[in-house]
Amino acid sequence: MDDRGSNEFCAILDFGSQYSQLIARRVRENRVYCEILPHDTSAAQISQRGCKGVILSGGPCGVYEQDAPQVDPGIFQLGVPVLGICYGMQAACQVLGGMVTPVEEREYGDTTLFVDRSDDPIFHGLDEKLKVWMSHGDRVMEVSERFTTLAHTENAPLAVVRDKEGKFYGLQFHPEVTHTRDDGKIINNFLYRICRFSGDWEVQDYVAQAVEEIRSTVGDKRVICALSGGVDSSVVALLLHRAIGEQLTCFFIDNGVLRQGEAEQVCGVFRDGFGLDFRFIDATDRFLEQLSGVIDPETKRHRIGHQFIEEFREAAKQFPDATFLAQGTLYPDVIESVSPFEGPSATIKSHHNVGGLPKDHGFELIEPLRFLFKDEARQIGKELGLPDEIVHRQPFPGPGLAIRVIGEVTRERLRVLRKADAIVQEEMVTYSDYRSVWQSFAVLLPVQTVGVQGDQRTYDDVIALRIVDSTDGMTADWVHLPEDLLARMSNRIVNEVTGVNRVVLDISSKPPSTIEWE
């Protein structure tokens, strides 16, 4: 594997920290290309890749626990600087001649770091007192004469250590989280002052390299791509189109539970705008038939997932000459399948995977985004001319409106929800902080309540508004929208959507609630 768009490479060895991806984000923000590799990656594998620096992540274990992950001692002979963070520091110090002991109580939270050697390059531009974020159960208590202590905290006499040659740095705290108030300087200093990276990595270079690679992999063969209109598959389709033009065929399956105008928008952008070979498959009837009489959300998910596979198989039959299937897999999904540790995200995702393709699809996979984070994929989308509405689209669940129509999904109930949801979208884009909102949508509840319209009593549907902030969908909080905006949404929905006489606002956070109502 070569380095994408840069001749320089930083390896991050993952010891299972919840922050490993954050470390990678910070490194890439410094324009240094990096990848997260399993903690047992050998020094030989790393050196093959022209590596200029290694970061050892934190991790949930104690170094003396049975089966605690170890670091290959050969890493310290590579001649490139190594930064050990928390567990990474402890695992390294153990190999390099230090003593690690458990502390009585886990140290967690804000701590003051007192810098003893402010002339060291790792502290360049920083004050002698720094707020840092600790989260550990063990700490390094003793180090051999090879080491110098650079900083301490009240509880940790060896909070930052360095070996005498300046090739290894160990930090007991987490510089990658924003609670460490160093303004990103510690990681920047490590990369530029210690590893001497030139910082030449740019997402644009990645595009050029991906295009080259796609061309040489595909040759004169045909590639198909199931386009959903989400950011990931849209960017993949455009990247492929740039690389191989008409050898790409995209198809879009309308499952009948999309938002208002969505199918038209995707057709407009890709077929009319970019001139892709784009096939539209209207599978509404078949999906709605599968959903008829179904109330249980898991059954809805299952049926939709199953039907999607059927539709995909049928569509693929039309391209017997296709060898490759392009997919918008992103880096976080790749890392999760590499990491030996299962985080909470692994469990949360299981139910979201319904809608994916079967493993035996018979195509070779092309996944040009597999080393990118979502915001990097967005940047590429922008670079390739993808319109803002798609680049910044909110996440939308695979089973679509089927899990937002609570109870049975019928054409009439979909009509009501679509109309109400379109009003929510139209009003939300007027909100000044719209880009920071994770999701904003309407939910149709399975209850009718009494209302009065003119002189008539009504007995109509209730719409709930779900508008949340989140960074990854795993936790979320409701957004405190301006009252006049909420009032406009509510008024418009009860006035414009026939069959709705009441609007309620969901003010629960996740946990204990979830984002979707289902």
Q: Which is nearer to ligand XMP, 133 or 308 (CB)?
A: 308
Stretch that binds ligand XMP, among 37-45, 56-64, 390-398, 496-504 (CB under 6 A): 390-398
Residue (148 or 394) nearer to ligand XMP, CB: 394
Nearest residue to 249 via CA among 299, 323, 189, 347: 323
How many residues line the site for ligand XMP (CB under 6 A)?
14
CA dist., res. 188 & res. 255, Å (int): 47
Active-site option among 10, 61, 86, 225: 86
Please say if 86 is a catalytic residue.
yes
Nearer to ligand XMP by Cβ, of 49 and 302: the residue is: 302
Interface stretch with ligand XMP, choices 158-166, 171-179, 282-290, 507-515 (CB under 6 A): 507-515
Query: Which of residues 229 and 399 has its CB atom nearest to ligand XMP in the complex?
Result: 399
Q: Which of 439, 440, 490, 501 binds ligand XMP (CB under 6 A)?
A: 439
Taking the C-alpha atoms of residue 96 and residue 92, their distance in angstroms, rounded to an integer, is 6
The one catalytic residue among 152, 174, 262, 427: 174
CB 506, min distance to ligand XMP, A: 12
CB nearer ligand XMP, residue 352 or residue 457: 352
Q: Please check whether residue 52 is in contact with residue 10, taking contact to mean a CB–CB distance below 8 angstroms.
A: yes
**Residue 130, both tokens:** 């720094």
Examine residue 510 and tell whether it contacts ligand XMP (CB under 6 A).
Answer: yes
Give the closest residue to 2 by CA, choosing from 302, 371, 362, 275: 371
Interface with ligand XMP in residues 468-487 (CB under 6 A):
473
Minimum distance, C-beta of residue 205 to ligand XMP, in the bound complex (Å) = 31
User: What's the closest the beta carbon of residue 299 comes to ligand XMP, in angstroms?
Assistant: 12
Give least dist CB 355 to ligand XMP, A.
Answer: 6
Would you say 424 or 515 has its CB closer to ligand XMP?
Answer: 515
What residues between 391 and 410 interact with ligand XMP by CB under 6 A?
395, 397-399
Rule CB under 6 A: is residue 301 a binding residue for ligand XMP?
yes
Q: Which of residues 336-355 bind ligand XMP (CB under 6 A)?
A: 351-352, 354
Run of H or E residues at 141: strand 129-143
Work out the burial of residue 285: count CB atoms within 10 Å of its CB; fewer than 13 is exposed, 13-18 middle, 19 or more buried: exposed
Q: Which residues have a Cβ under 8 Å from the Cβ of 172 and sit 6 or more positions away?
A: 86, 89, 134, 136, 139, 140, 153, 156, 158, 159, 160
Q: How far is the CB of 470 from ligand XMP (least distance, A)?
A: 7
Interaction between residue 7 and ligand XMP (CB under 6 A): no
39 is catalytic: no
Strands 51-56 and 98-115, by their bridges, are unpaired
Q: Nearer Cβ to ligand XMP, position 261 or 344?
A: 344
List Cβ neighbours of 515 (8 Å cut-off, separation of 6 or more).
Answer: 438, 439, 466, 468, 470, 473, 476
Q: Tell me whether residue 159 or residue 424 sits nearer to ligand XMP (CB atom).
A: 424
Sign of the alpha-carbon torsion through 231, 233, 236, 242: negative
Residues in 444-463 that interact with ligand XMP by CB under 6 A: none
When the beta carbons of 53 and 399 are compared against ligand XMP, the nearer one is 399
Q: What is the DSSP string of 66-108?
A: TT-----GGGGGSSS-EEEETHHHHHHHHHHTEEEEEEEEEEE
Q: Report yes or no: 97 and 142 within 8 Å, Cβ to Cβ.
A: no
The DSSP annotation for 33-52 comes to: -EEEEETT--HHHHHTTTEE
Q: Are 5 and 202 in contact (CB under 8 A)?
A: yes
Query: Structure tokens of 373?
Result: 């984070």
Contacts 24+ apart (CB under 8 A), 22-25: 22/176, 22/177, 23/55, 23/57, 23/85, 23/176, 23/187, 24/331, 24/373, 25/176, 25/373
Cβ 443 to ligand XMP, closest distance in Å? Answer: 11
At closest approach, how far in Å is the CB of 342 from ligand XMP?
Answer: 17
Q: How far is the CB of 294 from ligand XMP (least distance, A)?
A: 14
Both tokens of 114, joined, read 């007192």
Catalytic residue, candidates 8, 35, 176, 262: 176
Q: Name the packing angle between helices 203-218 and 231-244 (round to 10°).
A: 60
Cβ-based nearer residue to ligand XMP, 274 or 517: 517
| Strand ranges of the sheet holding 160-163, from the earlier edge strand across to the other edge | 34-38, 9-14, 51-56, 82-85, 168-171, 160-163, 147-152, 98-115, 129-143
Exposure string of 254-283, with b = 16+ CB inside 10 Å and e = fewer, is bbbbbbbebbebbbebbbeebebbbbbbeb
Task: Say whether 278 sits in a helix, a strand or coil.
Answer: strand
Q: Which of residues 352-381 bind ligand XMP (CB under 6 A)?
A: 352, 354
34 classed as catalytic? no
Among 155, 204, 299, 514, binds ligand XMP (CB under 6 A): 514
CB of 434 to ligand XMP, least distance (A): 16
Per CB under 6 A, contacts with ligand XMP among 207-266 are none
DSSP 3-state of 314 = helix
Interacting residues with ligand XMP (CB under 6 A): 301, 351-352, 354, 395, 397-399, 439, 473, 510, 514-516
Residues recognised as catalytic: 86, 174, 176
